[in-house]
Amino acid sequence: MEKFKLFISNFLIYGFGSIISNVIPLIMLPVITRLMPDSFYYGLSDISNTIVQFGTALAVMGMYDAVFRLFFDREDENYQKVVCSTALVFTLISSFAVFILLILFRNQFSELFFDDPKYNNVLYLTAISIFIGGTNSIVQIPTRTQNKRIVFIVLNTIGPVVSYAISVPLLLNGYYLIALPLAAVATALTKELSFYVINRKWFDLRLFDSGVLKQLLVIAIPLLPNFLIYWIFNSSDRLMISWLIGASFTGIYAVGAKIGSAAQLIYQAFAGGWQFFAFSTMNEENQVENNSKVFEYLGAVSFGCATLVFALSHWLFQLLFTGVYVDAYICAPYLFLAPLMQMLFQVAANQFLVVKKTWPNMLILAVGAVCNVALNLVLIPLIGIEGASIATLVGYVVSDIICCIVLCRMKLMVVSNRFLFCSFIMLVFILVWRMVLISSTLLSLIGAFFVIGIILTAYKNDISSLLTNKRIAHNNSVV
């Protein structure tokens, strides 16, 4: 129970920090869309962000998770400093290599991604963001490994403030193309410098160790395809929409994805608390049971939250947006549930990492990614941006199902019948919402509360046990 308290406390603290960093962009989104004269500009900015995510994943090359894994191998601070420093040197070199590649072939990449070489300025900013972002993830690691949660909250507050302090004045002055990419560069640089100053004792380029680098790469290289596959899941749909039906639709889809990314409030809270919890408890006797329970509980919470988003999506978009952006309501619910399915995959697939087998993650994710791309090719021309959002969600669900089956056969996971039942009820709700309830917010809400009631009933004993333990702990503390 103490370990679950550790995870839940981290979940809530990192969740609060994530709320701060995500609520500000969500609040500002209607303002940004009104300041841009055409969804085409928002589409180009979103494509730039898509390239940044791909380039950063390529530069980091799985090093972030590899450092986490080795960091907890020894309780030796000098060794931990060597691990962090070695990873920083590697990502400095790899990030710079990606940066140079984009700059040297700027015309070709501008033509490929933005459909015109005249958008080179956007590509320059994109390349800079990748260079900063690659090392940014590494300089944050000591804060995470030491579980310094207050630092996390503060720096996640600063980021959005810097971003909009730069982007809004630029938009008001008509710099529609570079406003958001330039703000992204400034935000990344601010966080990079802040984390480096706070964690500078952990980094010394002179501590680079080729032997440690080999250990890191053994874990990291098999993870690289995973991150590239995640990029296919989360970002390739933007490029495919742009190529198949136009950049203006990419802008509309990006707005739906931004609202859908409210799920990041849950996902980032999970990510912030999960890695510390997972690796600090990986040697415990009941680790499989605990990991399985975390998977189930997060799945139940995800289903409950997602039903409300499905029910309220149309009303919310009519309230916040005008013009073509209202049409994005159709894809937001699917894109809200998709990152939560990604979260469940990471909880389950962590079992492979604990036993130092990272290759199954890649194969399982690859199957889901192939399903995603194949469905994009079919559904985007057929039903537009809704098709892209459905493809993303289905891809993750396929990966989740395969991962759970494999882990159960390996005796590394247990999935209960009640969770399977709740998953089936969620699927039925989505189908009924799309075919019958979509035009009525009231009926959709009734359906959502019905599903939530079923989930609460299924887990009532667990909820009662958790509340009882909290009361006992409170009474003991008073005594």
Shared domain for 178 and 281, answered yes or no, is: no
Mean pLDDT across the stretch 75-83? 86
Mean pLDDT of the chain: 83
Based on the fold, state whether residues 203 and 253 are members of the same structural domain: no
Residue 229 counted as domain residue: no
* 26 is a domain residue: no
Task: Name which residue leads in pLDDT, 356 or 134.
Answer: 134
> What pLDDT, on a 0 to 100 scale, did the predictor assign at position 320?
85
Q: Give the range of the structural domain holding residue 117, as residue numbers without chain letter.
A: 36-222
Residues 293 and 211 in one domain: no
* Residue 474: band (very low, low, confident or very high) from pLDDT cuts 50, 70, 90: very low
The residue among 116 and 242 whose pLDDT is bigger is 242
**Domain membership flag for residue 165:** yes
**pLDDT at residue 15 in the model:** 55
Residue 153 resides in a domain: yes
What is the mean pLDDT of the segment spanning 426-455?
94
- State whether 41 and 69 are in the same domain: yes
**Residue 202 covered by a domain:** yes
Give residue 475's pLDDT: 46
- In the listed set 179, 195, 222, which residue is the last one of a domain according to the structure? 222
pLDDT of residue 74: 77
For the chain, the domain total comes to 2
Contact 300, 312 (CB under 8 A): no
Check whether residue 154 and residue 267 sit in a common domain.
no
Q: What's the pLDDT tens digit per position in 388-436?
A: 999 999 999 999 999 999 999 998 899 999 999 999 999 999 999 999 9
Q: What pLDDT is attached to residue 250?
A: 85
Shared domain for 242 and 369, answered yes or no, is: yes
Q: Are residues 66 and 159 in the same domain?
A: yes
Asked which of 222, 256, 276 is the last residue of a domain, the reply is 222
Residue range 291-319, pLDDT digits in tens: 888 889 889 989 999 999 999 999 999 98
Residue 83 lies in a domain: yes
Question: Does 7 score more than 60 pLDDT?
Answer: no
Is the separation of the CB atoms in 26 and 259 below 8 Å?
Answer: yes
Looking at the structure, tell me whether residues 384 and 413 fall in a common domain.
Answer: yes
Buried b (16+ CB within 10 A) or exposed e, 40-51: bbbbbbbbbbbb
Write out 51-120 in H/E/C secondary structure.
HHHHHHHHHHCCHHHHHHHHHCCCCCHHHHHHHHHHHHHHHHHHHHHHHHHHHHCHHHHHHHHHCCHHHH
Of 222, 252, 287, the domain-final residue: 222
Indicate if 205 and 312 belong to the same structural domain.
no
Most confident of 19-33, 144-158, 178-192, 249-263: 178-192
11 is written with which tokens?
Answer: 């979940």
Residue 156 has pLDDT above 80, yes or no: no
Any domain includes 29? no
The answer to whether residue 134 sits within a structural domain is yes
pLDDT at 196 over 80: yes
Residue of 448, 391, 113, 129 lying closest to 257 (CA atoms): 391
